[in-house]
Each structure stands twice: as C-alpha cells, then as structure tokens.
Chain A
C-alpha cells in the first residue's frame, strides 16, 4: 500500500526522488574524491617495489615533511646484509611552464631508472625507462594541460619530453611527476643530496631484520616498513576529512529534510485517509510502518537515481574536470545506501509526530 500511496502523488514522489538522488550523487562524489585522493597519496608508496623507506630523522611521509640525506648513504645501506637493492629518490616541488603558462606545483621525484625502486608502477601510457630530459607526468595533470606523449614541458627553463603518463599519483592539491635522479639533482641545484633511500630486501632476509640492521648502522636516519610509510602518508589526509564529513552531513541533512517534507505534505494532504484508517482500527504501529515504508521506498529510489546520476556524470567530470581522480567503490556505495536508508527512516520521525495528532473522529468532518 505504501508504494501505491506514493504513486498516487507522482509529482511529489518524482521531485523527492530527484532531490534525494542529487544528494546521494553528491555524497558518492565526495566519497569518490576522497577515495581518489587516498589512492593518490598511497598508491605510489604501495606499488613502487620498495620494502623499506629511509628518510631523514623526524621525517615520516612524502607529502608534508622535508627529508635530506647525503647520497653516500645509499652505498652504505646497499652494503648491509640482506639488502638486495638500495636506490636513491629525490623529491622537489616545482612548477612547470606549458606553452608559456605556469602550471600548478608538481611533486617531482628523481629516481634511478637502472635500480627500479622509485619508478611509478601504474602507467596509462609510455615508459619509465627514462632518458635524460624525459618526464613521466600524472595523467590528470597531463589532461588538465592537454599534454600527450612526446609533448614538451619546461622545468626551470629546461625542456622535458613527456615519456610516460602515470595513474594513482594525484593528491588533488598537487600531482606527482618523475624524472631521472641526475635531472632532479640538476633542477635542485645541490649535488650529493637525496631525499629518500628505497630498499628492496633480499629474498629470505626478512624486512624486520634488515630494518634493525639499518637502524644499528645508521642511527641518525628514520626507517619505515612500506605499510607504515603508506599509513603515514594517509594520515596526512586527516585535515581534509572533517571538510568532507561536514559537506556529507549537510548533504544528508538536506536529503532527510526533503523526505520529511514529502511525507509531511502527504500526511497533511491525506489527513482524512489516515483518520479513516485509525477509525476502522489501524493501529499506530501499522500506520507508522506505512509511513516508514514510504520513506524507505522514496529513499531507495532516490539512491538508485543518485547512483545512476553519479555513474552518468563520471565521464563528463573526467572530461571537463580532468584534475579530479574519482574512485567509486562498492564499500562507499554501500555506506551511502545505508546512510540514505537511516536518514530516510529518521526523516519519517517528524511526519509521524503529525500522524499522531490525526484523530480518528476527524473522518466525520468531510
């Protein structure tokens, strides 16, 4: 009956579904951005084939800490028992010039192509076998500035040819780019300095044991297993979570109010029907269930519409806002669905208060 009652007021139902759908789309979009950024700040660390990350003491992440190490530390670490590969990684912040236009700031990493750890592992095009003055750009950065493979970008007046496009290297506020270590050193303007040393542990050596040996040999550096270093980077996102949460809560509130308004209007308009139902013996529980089912049906349809809207708008967003890395996950969709149903249920509370004030004797007024 709940479905039939809703369908008798198609206009009101469609407006509600549309509005709840827009809210759901917004929430999915927020989750998508969050997951995209989360991926952007962790995927490089997670996939670059290093078991241990070594930095300057007190530095613990890529995004918000500075780390300088003498380049000689790489050879010293390489000589430690159980280390298969030790590779240098430089990091600097720089803008580029594309067609006379200055770009947003890049996180530029300089890695040693001959030693592998440090190269981005997820490419959408091109190669990481870089020659001098070649660069791998984040794909969203390249899309934003319309750069394809073979295009040229200027870094501090030096032209670099785009040799590859990477994925999972977009932190939203900035993107990663990769050049050879010697090119990075030139751009940095200081020789003999690197930012990190990446270690690949020899098969059977045990990362924990190697970590302890490095700490013992080099007490003035910080050593992190890959998972811990990845988590450290993720922790840097804590600042944006309240913003996302605030927008999400406001969105959910708006969605809830829309459902409440629809039910409120429906009950007022159908007041005599509810009075009749009370008169013929429908219990408060039955009527509450009826209103609740209407709220859940409207919320569920709103979710379906919102999910479709998010899916349909994804290609458009990719085209017109290329710097966004959206990642829609089933966990996020499930969370939004549960949230929508919870808010929909809560939204029925206000109309239920109105329903309680409908008296069965009102049925005789009309």
Chain B
C-alpha cells in the first residue's frame, strides 16, 4: 500500500530548479534510500515530502491525503501525528534531558502516556541516558534519542536526512539498522537521504538524484 507519494514535484529558488518534476511512491514497511551528491536537490525533496516546504508545482499525498493543499496549521498538526524526522546533527534541545526531548513530542500531541518516552529509550538502548543532557551523550546515543523522539507519536512515515553524517561507522551502522527495522517490524515508510553508500545493502530500494532529477529509472 502506498503510504507516501510525490507527484511531479518541482521546486525553484529564483532561477534555480532545485527539484525538477520528480515523482516517487513509497509503501508502508518499505525503506528507500535517496543517494546524491551535495546540491543534487535531495534535501529539498525531503522537505517537500515532509510538508516542510511547499512545492512550486506538483503535490504530496500521504495515505491519500493531499498535504500540499492543507493550511500551514493543518500541515503542522499533520506532521506531528504522521511523520517522524531524523536529522544529521540530531537537533535535540540542549536544555532538555533525553527523556524530556522524547516527551516533548508526546506533550505536543497531548499524549498522556507517562511511560512511553521511557519505553522508547529502552527499546533504543539508551534508557540509562534518560536523565542526561545531550552534551553529556555520544553522537550515537544522541541519534538514538533522536530516533526515539521521531518514533514517539508512532508516525506512519520516517524521514531521515543524512542520519549517519555525524556518526562513526559503528554508530552509523546501528542507526540504519534501527531505522530499517522500524520500517519492517512496524510497517513504516522510511525515506533516508544520504550520500553514504554503506547504507545501500540495508534498504529495499535506492534512488539516485542529480541536478534535481532521478538519475536512472526507478
């Protein structure tokens, strides 16, 4: 079942076409890797797929709902409940502990399950770091906390931007394993944007992007 679909997505910045008529479909339980050099448009594509950036033309459908037609506020709420984001530099709030960073998403969604954050941190192997601030954690631990945060609202889609970019090879390997496991075991659609080719064997499908377009037929 197609969970996420981008149809003829184009995004221009002035005269530059960052993404040029790109389409893709990702099914539930599928992990897709988008490879491409810097400036190829893959992060812009990810932003549009995640409802963070409106396409200049084309549309994004999530579980059949046209996200691009929503108001900003509705899109914001839709993101909260449907999409989990993972970033290269983790983007944990440095003022909050690991537990509080995860709990933040639950609070935003008014989820009152008190043990949810703890459970996720446990599943991701960082429960012992629950009360630590991000600066006291390693890069791998931070990324695990970030994944726990992305999973907090049990989203149907996970979008990861260079998730291994700030990690050593061992931590990067573990991160990708966790993401792909989430796709398979929990039936989530996972899109990973990266230029790290070590991820290739772990995913179901690889797409290559150059100059805002797919390099080869899907």
A residues sitting closer than 8 Å to B (CB atoms) are 1, 4-5, 7-8, 272-273, 276, 278-284, 286, 359-361, 363-364, 366
Contact = CB atoms under 8 A, between A and B. Distances in A.
9 contacts: A1-B95, A273-B93, A276-B87, A279-B50, A279-B79, A280-B85, A282-B76, A359-B52, A361-B53
Contacts of A363: 52, 85, 87, 91
A283 B77 contact: yes
B136 interface: no
Contacts of B87: 276, 363-364
B73 interface: yes
Given A361-B53, A363-B85, A363-B87, A283 B95 contact: no
Given A276-B91, A281-B105, A286-B108, A364 B43 contact: yes
Contact of B105 (A272, A273, A280, A359): A280
A279 B96 contact: no
Given A281-B105, A282-B108, A4 B96 contact: yes
Interface string B168-202: 00000000000000000000000000000000000
B5 interface: no
Given A279-B85, A360-B52, A364-B87, A284 B80 contact: no
A272 B73 contact: no
A359 B54 CA distance: 11
B85 A8 contact: no
B79 A281 contact: yes
A273 B52 CA distance: 15
Given A279-B52, A284-B73, 4 more contacts: A1-B95, A8-B95, A276-B87, A283-B73
A276 to B, nearest CB: 4
Contacts of B56: none
Interface of B: 43, 46-47, 50, 52-53, 73, 76-77, 79-81, 85, 87-89, 91, 93-96, 100, 104-105, 108-109, 149, 161
Contact of B94 (A8, A286, A360): A8
Contacts of B100: 1
Given A7-B95, A8-B95, A283-B73, A366 B89 contact: yes
Nearest to B54: A361
A364 B105 contact: no
Contacts of B46: 364
A273 B53 contact: no
A283 B52 CA distance: 13
A360 B85 CA distance: 11
B96 A1 contact: yes
Q: Which of B43, B47, B161 has the most CB of A within 10 A?
A: B47
A4 B43 CA distance: 31
A270 B69 CA distance: 30
Nearest to A285: B73
A281 B47 contact: no
Nearest to A272: B91
Contacts of B77: 281, 283
A283 B76 contact: yes
A258 B82 CA distance: 40
A279 to B, nearest CB: 6
A21 B16 CA distance: 51
Nearest to B90: A276
**Would you list the 9 A-B pairs with minimal beta carbon distance, nearest first?**
A281-B80, A4-B95, A276-B91, A361-B52, A361-B47, A8-B95, A361-B53, A360-B52, A281-B79
A49 B43 CA distance: 85
A340 B77 CA distance: 34
Contacts of A282: 76, 80, 108
Contacts of B108: 280-283, 286
A280 B80 contact: yes
Contacts of A360: 52, 76, 79
A286 B96 CA distance: 17
A281 B76 CA distance: 5
Contacts of B95: 1, 4-5, 7-8
A293 to B, nearest CB: 13
A360 B89 CA distance: 15
Contact of A273 (B81, B85, B91, B149): B91
A276 B79 CA distance: 12
A334 to B, nearest CB: 32
A364 B47 contact: yes
Contacts of A361: 47, 52-53
A5 B100 CA distance: 13
Contacts of A359: 52-53
Contacts of B105: 280-281
A303 to B, nearest CB: 23
Nearest to B91: A276
Nearest to A7: B95
A283 to B, nearest CB: 6
A134 to B, nearest CB: 69
Contacts of B50: 279
Contacts of A279: 50, 52, 79, 85
A33 B91 CA distance: 51
Contacts of B109: 281
A283 B80 CA distance: 9
Contacts of B89: 366
A283 B109 CA distance: 10
Contact of A364 (B81, B104, B161): B161
